[in-house]
Amino acid sequence: MSTAKFGEYGGQYVPEALMPAIEELTDAYERYVLDNEDGFMDEFRERLREFGGRPTPLQHAEQLSERYETNVYLKREDLVHGGAHKLNNALGQVLLAKYMGKERIIAETGAGQHGTATAMAAAHLDMPCEIYMGRTDTNRQRPNVFRMRLNGAEVTPVDVGRGTLKEAISQTMRDWAKTVETTHYVIGSVVGPHPFPKMVRDFQSVISEETRQQLREQTGQLPSSVIACAGGGSNTMGSFHKFVDDDVSLFAVEAGGSSLAVDEERGVAPNSASLTTGTEGVLHGARTKILQDMDGQIMESHSVSAGLDYAGVGPELAHLVETGRITPATVEDDDALSAFHRLSQTEGIIPALETAHAIAWLEDATAEQLGDRVVLTVSGRGDKDLETVLEETAARDIPDGPDMDVFSRNGGINE
Ligand SMILES: *Cc1c(COP(=O)(O)O)cnc(C)c1O
């Protein structure tokens, strides 16, 4: 039996109508994922390899190593099919749905990254797929809407409220409650009711499993520290899980947005740093650290990076921070933008804006925190962020930013 709690956090805070689905999923998680029944995990690994492009490299980054006077290794999840670590989880859950005899996949998406990964996995495994997305987000993220549709998924805009992720999640929950017999809901991070936080962590643990083996091969040793950015926390838990019992320092970097000041009275958080500025509460089926106002309403959060902009965080991550095993850190928008340009220029890797937060934190970390062998997970590539980055860089004074004139009309070619 796997327990639903991580200390005070986690649990299964769901409406009665969803309990049968949660129980069925818990049973399937224990049999197929934990016990490898019918060779589920073998097939999952094989598909990660053939379809997902794993294992991803663990690359010694020469320029970063020189700059920080240590050895910096980049775990290249940006090279996973689809351009981010998200496929690891989506593929695992869609395959599990198949083993469970489900006939349909649903998911919600905010920026569209999780929806895209789910649509790819569903097409690969020949499952019909419906993605709920807030109306505002469908307008903001056109390319991802096209990607999902190209993969054969139905994208259903949600018109309720502000038309963003929160409303899309509620809509997906309602669909699931009505269709549990035939449908699996693919949650996109280590959040939600048990068994999702553990299951998603286990699917993403391939990151730390490979890292461990690759660094052993390259140096014969374990990392001294591992750094990863945290939105919901799937990249962090996947990057950390296989090191939790070892003498390895773990740093989860959250989005500090424009400021760490939270106005609980007005219900505004100009950041998405739930581990650092949040308080205990229940969100999306689990007790965890969340950004809430004095009445317990979820606050509007902010980050320049859409993938980190979530008002909660995985319960296991919240627990491991509370017990002191994981150290939380924050990086503000400007510094993340600066790091985006720095990695692009020094290593030839254009990172996702989410990842840029982890890169930026290297500037703040002490030599003692980092140690001799630093592993940093590049959770995704930055192609999806180019427009945002160019706009935001032009609007601010970003150290290490490029000369913005070269991005003027015609790329500056005729001038
Ligand atoms: C979605 C996303 C994240 C944040 O989600 P987690 O669940 O915290 O991993 C980080 N990096 C990239 C590239 C993403 O797409």
Q: Where are the domains of the chain?
A: 15-51+86-200, 58-83+206-398
| 369/350 Cα distance (integer angstroms) | 26
Q: Closest Cα partner for 189 from 249, 152, 238, 148?
A: 238
**Residue tagged active-site, from 75, 77, 86, 224:** 86
Q: Ligand 1 center to residue 232 CA distance, Å?
A: 7
412 pLDDT more than 80: no
* pLDDT the model gives residue 415: 47
Ligand 1 in contact with 379 (CB < 6 A)? Answer: yes
Among 19-28, 84-93, 94-103, 290-299, the range scoring the smallest mean pLDDT is: 290-299
Give the model's pLDDT for residue 410.
55
Residue from 76, 203, 234 whose mutation best tests the ligand 1 pocket (most atoms within 8 A of CB): 234
The pLDDT score that the predictor gives to residue 406 is: 66
58-60, strands of its sheet edge to edge: 58-60, 71-76, 373-378, 225-229, 249-257, 326-332
Give distance in angstroms: CA of 252 to centre of ligand 1: 12
User: Nearest C-alpha to atom 5 of ligand 1 is from which residue?
Assistant: 231
Q: Within a 10 A sphere around the Cβ of 298, how many other Cβ atoms?
A: 17
Fold assignment, 58-83+206-398: Rossmann fold (3.40.50)
Residue 178 bears catalytic tag:
no
Q: Is the CB of 232 under 6 A from ligand 1?
A: yes
* Catalytic entry in 77, 102, 108, 210: 108
Ligand 1 center from residue 86 Cα (angstroms): 7
Å from CA of 231 to ligand 1 middle: 6
- Cβ neighbors of 93 (< 8 A, separation 6 or more) are 118, 121, 184, 186, 187, 199, 200, 203
Ligand 1 atom, smallest distance to 313 CA: 8
The mean pLDDT of 93-112, rounded to a whole number, is 97
Respond yes or no: is residue 379 known to be catalytic: yes
Q: Is the CB of 89 under 6 A from ligand 1?
A: no
Contact 357, 208 (CB under 8 A): no
| For residue 41, pLDDT beyond 50 | yes
Looking at residue 3, its pLDDT comes to: 87
Q: Which pLDDT does position 163 carry in this prediction? A: 86
pLDDT value at 413 more than 90: no
Decide whether any atom of ligand 1 lies within 6 Å of the 231 Cβ: yes
pLDDT, mean over the chain:
94
What integer pLDDT is reported at residue 164 of this predicted model? 86
Residue 387, SS3 per DSSP: helix
Mean pLDDT of the 286-294 span: 95
How do residues 207-216 score in pLDDT, each as one tens digit?
999 999 999 9
Expressed in angstroms and rounded, the spacing between residue 246 Cα and the centre of ligand 1 is: 24
Is the CB of 252 inside a 6 Å radius of any atom of ligand 1? no
Residue pLDDT, tens place only, 315-342 = 999 999 999 999 999 999 999 999 999 9
Position 409 scores a pLDDT of 53
Per-residue pLDDT, averaged over 196-212, amounts to 98
In this predicted structure, the answer to whether residue 1 has a pLDDT above a threshold of 60 is no
CA distance 202 to 91: 12
The whole-number pLDDT of residue 161 equals 87
Give the residue-averaged pLDDT of 70-83: 98
**Domains 15-51+86-200 and 58-83+206-398 in one fold:** yes
pLDDT at 414 over 70: no
> Would you say the CB of residue 303 lies under 6 angstroms from ligand 1?
no
Instruction: Give mean pLDDT, residues 81-109.
Output: 98
Fold of 15-51+86-200: Rossmann fold (3.40.50)
Q: Is the pLDDT of residue 399 over 90?
A: no
Helix 86-99 vs helix 113-124: crossing angle, to nearest 10:
40
